[in-house]
Amino acid sequence: MSKKAVRQGRYGVDGPGWLLALGGGVVAPLVAVAAGAPRWLLRVPPLVAVPAAVYLHASVRGKFLVWEEQLDALGLRGDEEVLDLGCGRGAVLTAVARRVPKGRVTGVDLWRTVDQSGNSERAAARTAAREGITDRVALVTADMRQLPFEDATFDLVVSSMAIHNITGARGREAAVREAYRVLKPGGRLLVADIFHGARSLDVLRAAGAVRVRRTDAGPRMWWSGPWIRTLLVSAEKPAAEPDHGDLDGERRS
């Protein structure tokens, strides 16, 4: 059975301020020329229209396609405990929930509308209802720099376009450390984000992660052009060492 489905929810756009600014760069020169400004300004809209279209595509289509592929590649069993950091209106939350019919997906967010249009816990809950996954979704209002979960709670931690929204390197590093802390031994982490991928790798390695990798998500997740590309950071927490306690006891006796 295909895990892909026609999207029923409304997911908003990422960084709506940036999209507005790009849109303004298309419209403002047209208006200015109509009001008598010099005609050379008409050269600006075509230059800005392409980055604006690339950005919009990444937000409403490209991001979804990339995550579908990434989640398929994880080969989930279907009963995992999953955490989505900065879940927003639920783009990735929904895609994971479809793949874990016997599991649970917890979405953590502060619901900042500056980071995603129409962002709110209610909007995320509505999305979950529209997608028919309410039974396996929990929404938690919390800061990803200080997660309200015990160590080793989740089989998989995902995060899409969220950690870069934290101001300051210390905060971003804390979020990555928290993501790793709440992973179970053998658990996996997959983060898609811009700008700070290299530092995340260092933080994960220092925390003891293995199979720490960074790949480029490609043009579908360019935010206006190749100058703002998305990096996919993946890692695993080493599986627990087998308990040799009894064996040692047998050897001793």
Chain contacts with ligand SAM (rule: CB under 6 A): 11, 14, 63, 86-88, 91-92, 108-112, 115-116, 119, 143-145, 160-162, 165-166
Q: Where are the beta strands (DSSP E) in 125-237?
A: 137-141, 154-160, 183-194, 210-216, 230-236
Q: Which two tokens stand for residue 158?
A: 């995902």
Rank residues 32 and 228 by Cβ distance to ligand SAM and give the closer one.
228
How far is 197 from 101, CA to CA, in rounded Å?
31
Rank residues 76 and 162 by Cβ distance to ligand SAM and give the closer one.
162
Tokens 């995992």 belong to: 80
How far is 30 from 32, CA to CA, in rounded Å?
5
Rank residues 86 and 103 by Cβ distance to ligand SAM and give the closer one.
86
- What's the min distance (Å) between Cβ of 182 and ligand SAM? 14
- What's the min distance (Å) between Cβ of 184 and ligand SAM? 21
Between β-strands 183-194 and 230-236, what pairing exists: parallel, antiparallel or unpaired? antiparallel
- What's the min distance (Å) between Cβ of 12 and ligand SAM? 7
Per DSSP, 86 falls in state T
Between β-strands 210-216 and 230-236, what pairing exists: parallel, antiparallel or unpaired? antiparallel
- What's the min distance (Å) between Cβ of 8 and ligand SAM? 15
Rank residues 144 and 235 by Cβ distance to ligand SAM and give the closer one.
144
Rank residues 82 and 87 by Cβ distance to ligand SAM and give the closer one.
87
Q: Which residues are within 8 A (CB) of 112 and not within 5 positions of it... i.e. 6 or more apart?
A: 119, 165
- What's the min distance (Å) between Cβ of 130 and ligand SAM? 15
